[in-house]
Structure 1
Amino acid sequence: MDDSTYPWPSKATFITDLLFGSMHLRFSEAQKKAVLSWAHEMGTQNVPTLYALRKAQDHVHSCIGNPTCKVTASSSNIFYINSIDSAITKDYSNPLTCFCMHDYPEDGRGNMSQVHHGSKMLHELPEELLVPSVCINNNIYFQNELLQSTTRFFIATHFFQGNISSHNAERLSLQVLALGHPSKFQHLIPSRAGFAVDPERIILEVSSFKRTYIDLQTNVHLCRFTCR
């Protein structure tokens, strides 16, 4: 057993399974047999059999599950349905792919090369499908909750990524931004105070966030929240 390719039993089995499972190269059973026979006749060592490959695939599926479900329609047509949420979960749990995942839509300024650059992802997603929070310095800030940045109170309604000028004005860097309503603490009547929410929305860098809603609740002197 080669631990570096676990749960595949060997590097040869892993590479062969990777080849035959390629989404861009669809091998028939006859082609798989021909490739393995050719490799064996050329003197290649440790060439797996089709039976060994199927056993390895069954073992992998037993370890991590199989996101593809086979469905036979009433017309006898056969379909394979992939579980999207299961695939995304595996991508996030994979240490090699999790850093390539994009949590937020990106403002491509009219350019589009990936799905997260699309205007629908940026402007037209229903509120329940938006990423609900952002994590900054181990603090989690949620949309539609009051927070405090370095300059103002703010209610974020939408998190996204965009290129903004860095300290060096000649360079742009991709940052997580928040679209939302600036808010201002004010006295309503002598015995009551509250927040005036500006209906116009602005964009702030999430790196400027300093206090979460929980922090503001516990700071009575700052916001004068009362517990009921």
Structure 2
Amino acid sequence: MTRQTDQMPTKERIIETAGEIFGDQGFKAATIRSIAEAAQVNVAAINYHFGDKERLYHTVLEDIFDRGFETFPSVTPLSPGQDPEKQLQRFIRDMFSRLSSQEGLGVGTTGKGRLIAREFLDPTQAFEEIVETYIKPHRDVLLSILAGICGTEADDPRLKPCAVSILGQCVYFSFAAPLIKKLMPECVLTPENLEELAHGVYLFSLGGIKQLAGRADE
């Protein structure tokens, strides 16, 4: 346990410590006793605040996403007068930051980030509420932006593959960092090149979206 964690109130200290242990060991392997020992609390304290391991795990997930979206809030659905291209640029940049930053989800940089990676690849039941509360609204914002660029409605089925492509590019830079390092080390996401890489994804995606919009007029 770090000095910073040691100074936290008991409940917050348990959540912080549990996030690291769940990320390193997985939900099944992690035990309440090991979390209690690492957080320097007794098992009764965890039971008092959370009830059981399932509820603790759910709380940890919620805390990670709540902090991530509080630090890097999603842009709002497109409203009249807003420039959808600028909104797309901000959406991509903020998603890069939210995924990779330790102040966000910390994918690839912290134990909690490894926990998120586990959930993306093999979702647990606890992740269902996270999807409804955070990820689906995020998707809807992106679809509204794409609709604004294409001059169509957000429920246009052609937009969904575009949305998946954009989300996939953002996620790949964080989740596939070890592979990227072997293939193109200069493209490994860092705080120093985040703006450049995010802008590249924006330009690449915008070109495809405009191509799609042009075909719709043919």
TM-score (norm. length: structure 2): 0.28
TM-score (norm. length: structure 1): 0.27
**Higher share of residues assigned helix:** 2
**Higher share of residues assigned strand:** 1
